[in-house]
Structure 1
Amino acid sequence: MLRVDEILSNRRLRVAALAAAALAALAVIAAGELLSRPASRVIGAAPPDLQARDVSLPADGYTVRGWFVPGTPGVGAVLLLHGVRGDRMAMLQRARMLKQSGYSVLLVDLPAHGESGGGHITFGWREAAGVRSALDWLRHEVPMEKAGVIGVSLGAAALVYSGLACLRSGSVRGCHTAIPAALPAAAGNRYRSATCASPIKAATLTSTVPQNFRRNDALTDLWRSHCCATTPPGQPQHRPSINNVLSGMRQRPARAADLSAA
Structure 2
Amino acid sequence: MSSPISDLSPKAQAIAKYIDNLSDNKIEVPMLPDVANQVLALSNDPDSDAAQLAKLIQSDQALAGHVMRIANSAAYTPNASMVSLQQAVARLGLSLITEIALAASLNTKIFKAPTYENRINEIWDHALCTAFWGKEVARVAKKNVEAAFLCGLLHSIGKPVILQTIFDYSEWHDVSISLDEVGVIESAYHVKYGEVVVRKWKMPAIVQESVHYYADYQNAQSNRDQAMVTNGAAKLAQAMLSGEEAAIDTALQD
TM value normalised by structure 1 = 0.25
Q: Whose Rg is larger?
A: 1
TM value normalised by structure 2 = 0.26
Between Structure 1 and Structure 2, the one with more helix by share is 2
Between Structure 1 and Structure 2, the one with more strand by share is 1
